[in-house]
Amino acid sequence: MGRLGLLFELRHAETRPGETVTVVGARTELGAWDCYTSGLQLRTGASCYPCWAMLAPVWVSPGTSDSSASLCRSQDLDTPGHSVASPRVVRDASVIPEEPEVVSSGDSGDAEFSQASHFIHVEYKYVKDRRQVKDCGPSIQWEDSIANRLVSLPFEPGSIWIISDSKFNDVREQPRIVRTTLVEILARRDKLDMEFRHSLQDVSHSPEWSGREPEDDG
């Protein structure tokens, strides 16, 4: 059936030494809301902190909720409900249109079904993991001041998208969704990974560094 590649980016998340930022969501590929064992790791570096980003895409497949106009919501969070975003979808990071791209449908009577069947819905939140920090209060900090984040992406099998949110625990600005390529991902990964590894040798107690080695992406 095909899959989409997703890279999450949080442009502003201030952290303390030892804290990390992860993303978790309703889908199995996003950990099914299990932030303790299945959250997706984000990274940062000296040149981009307090921005955090994923190094490699997570691949998601369409689910039953993607072919329906109604969306499921998690019952396990302290902040119920959705924050349904109307993201700006762009093909090129240097050009951001005023209105989101829309997949056109044929007959107006089937417009709702056709549009829903060509989009994949992603519900998620960012989390600060403080388990490596002593005497910091809760070991996990959810985005507890906002409803669940939710975006819809055009379902184009094999495509890769960057979901870029403005700030931790803040949804006043809509997410930016940018289509990217494998070449751009590798360049971005090499830069972040190099800074991360260098930091472990020189400034291991700086707030930018998590102290966790990257997992094998297969």
**CATH number of the domain to which 170 belongs:** 2.60.40.10
What pLDDT score does 198 carry? 52
| Number of compact structural domains in the chain | 1
Phi, psi (degrees; rounded to nearest 5) at 183: -60, -45
Residue 89 covered by a domain: no
Residue 10 covered by a domain: yes
Averaged pLDDT, 204-217: 42
Residue 160: how many other CB atoms lie within 10 Å: 18
Residue 72 covered by a domain: no
8 A C-beta contact, residue 174 and residue 98? no
DSSP at 175:
P
Rounded distance, CA 139 to CA 142, Å? 10
* pLDDT score of 42 more than 60: yes
Residue 11 covered by a domain: yes
* pLDDT score of 91 more than 70: no
What pLDDT score does 157 carry? 93
pTM of the model: 0.68
* pLDDT score of 145 more than 90: yes
For residue 204, give the H/E element and its range.
none
Residue 153 covered by a domain: yes
Per-residue confidence band for 38, with pLDDT thresholds at 50, 70 and 90: very high
**HSE of 161, CA atoms in CB hemisphere, 13 A:** 27
Most confident of 19-33, 70-84, 113-127, 129-143: 19-33
Per-residue confidence band for 78, with pLDDT thresholds at 50, 70 and 90: very low
* pLDDT score of 156 more than 70: yes
* pLDDT score of 184 more than 50: yes
* pLDDT score of 189 more than 60: yes
* Domain that residue 49 falls in: 4-63+118-202
What pLDDT score does 63 carry? 76
Residue 167 covered by a domain: yes
The more confidently predicted of residues 150 and 213 is 150
